[in-house]
Chains A and B, each alone.
Chain A
Amino acid sequence: MDIIVCVKYVPETAEAEIKIDSTGKAIEKTGLVFDINEWDDYALEEAVLLKEKLGGTVTAITIGSEDSDAVLRKCLARGADDAIRLTDPQFEGSDGYAIAKILSKVIKNLPFSLILTGAQASDDGYATVGPILATLLGIPHATMVKKIELDDGVAKVNRELEGGLEEIAEITLPAVLAVQTGINEPRYVSIMGTRKAMKKEIKILGLADVGLSENEVGETGSWIKTEKMYVPPVEKQAEFLNGSPEEIAAKIAEILKTKGLI
Chain B
Amino acid sequence: MTEIFVLTEHRQGQIRDITFEMLSKGRELAGKTNTELTAVLLGKEVKNHAKTLQDYAKRVLLVEDTQLENFNSDAYQKVLSSLIKEHKPLLTLMGHTSFGVELAPSLAVSLDTPLATDCIDLEFEGETLTVIRQMYGGKVNVKAVLRKAESYIVTVRQATFPVEKEAPMNGEIVEVPSPLSEEIAKKRFVKYVLPPPGGVDITAAEVLIGIGRGIKDGSNIPPVEELAKTLGGALACSRPIVDKGWLPNGCQVGSSGKTVKPKFYLALGISGAFQHVLGMKSSDVIIAVNKDPKAPIFGVADYAVVEDLFKIVPPLKSKIEELKR
Contacts and interface: CB of A to CB of B under 8 A. Distances in A.
Interface in B197-244: 206-207, 213, 231, 239-240, 242-244
Nearest to B97: A162
Nearest to A122: B137
Interface string A120-134: 001111111011101
B237 to A, nearest CB: 12
User: Which 7 pairs between the two chains have the least Cβ-Cβ distance?
Assistant: A164-B195, A182-B243, A249-B315, A131-B105, A223-B114, A238-B304, A168-B190
29 contacts: A20-B140, A96-B117, A125-B133, A128-B117, A131-B102, A132-B105, A161-B11, A162-B97, A163-B258, A164-B195, A166-B193, A167-B192, A168-B190, A222-B147, A223-B114, A223-B146, A224-B116, A225-B146, A230-B141, A232-B134, A232-B141, A236-B299, A238-B288, A246-B319, A249-B318, A252-B303, A257-B323, A259-B264, A261-B206
Q: Is the interface of A mostly helix, strand, loop or mixed?
A: mixed
B192 A165 contact: yes
Interface in A77-92: none
A160 B105 contact: no
A131 B73 CA distance: 11
Contacts of B109: 97, 132, 135-136
A168 B101 contact: no
B187 interface: yes
Contacts of B245: 185
B106 A131 contact: yes
A244 to B, nearest CB: 9
A123 B135 contact: yes
A162 B109 CA distance: 25
A125 B285 CA distance: 29
Contacts of B26: none
Interface in A207-262: 222-232, 234-236, 238-241, 245-246, 248-253, 255-257, 259, 261-262
B294 A168 contact: no
Interface in A151-183: 156, 158-172, 175, 181-182
Interface stretch (B33-41, B44-52, B305-313): B305-313
A256 B72 CA distance: 47
Contacts of A252: 266, 287, 303, 305, 312, 316, 319
Contacts of A128: 104-105, 115, 117
B324 interface: yes
Nearest to A155: B187
Contacts of A17: 292, 294
Interface string B263-287: 1101000010000000000001101
Interface in A30-87: none
Q: How large is the interface on B (under 10, 10 to 19, 20 to 34, 35 or more residues)?
A: 35 or more
Contacts of B213: 14
Contact of A27 (B102, B140, B143): B140
A23 B241 CA distance: 37
A228 B303 contact: no
Highest count of chain A CB atoms <10 Å: which of B147, B213, B250: B147
Contacts of A159: 98, 102
Contacts of A11: 136
B70 interface: yes
Given A96-B117, A131-B101, A245-B315, 18 more contacts: A127-B96, A127-B101, A131-B105, A142-B102, A164-B195, A164-B256, A167-B192, A181-B243, A223-B116, A229-B143, A236-B299, A238-B304, A239-B304, A241-B305, A248-B305, A256-B320, A262-B231, A262-B323
Q: How large is the interface on A (under 10, 10 to 19, 20 to 34, 35 or more residues)?
A: 35 or more
A141 interface: yes
A175 to B, nearest CB: 8
A141 B109 CA distance: 14
Contact of A245 (B142, B190, B311): B311
B141 to A, nearest CB: 5
A126 B142 CA distance: 12
A224 B259 CA distance: 32
Contact of A231 (B72, B110, B140, B312): B140
A136 B112 CA distance: 11
B319 A14 contact: no
Contact of B186 (A130, A140, A240, A245): A140
Contacts of B191: 167-168
A198 interface: no
A144 interface: yes
B167 interface: no
A253 B140 contact: no
Contacts of A175: 186
Contact of B306 (A126, A127, A240, A250): A240
B171 interface: no
Given A252-B287, A255-B285, A182 B239 contact: yes
Nearest to B144: A224
Nearest to A221: B147
Contacts of B135: 123-125, 229
Interface string B290-301: 011010101111
B136 A167 contact: no
Given A132-B105, A255-B285, A224 B139 contact: no
B130 interface: yes
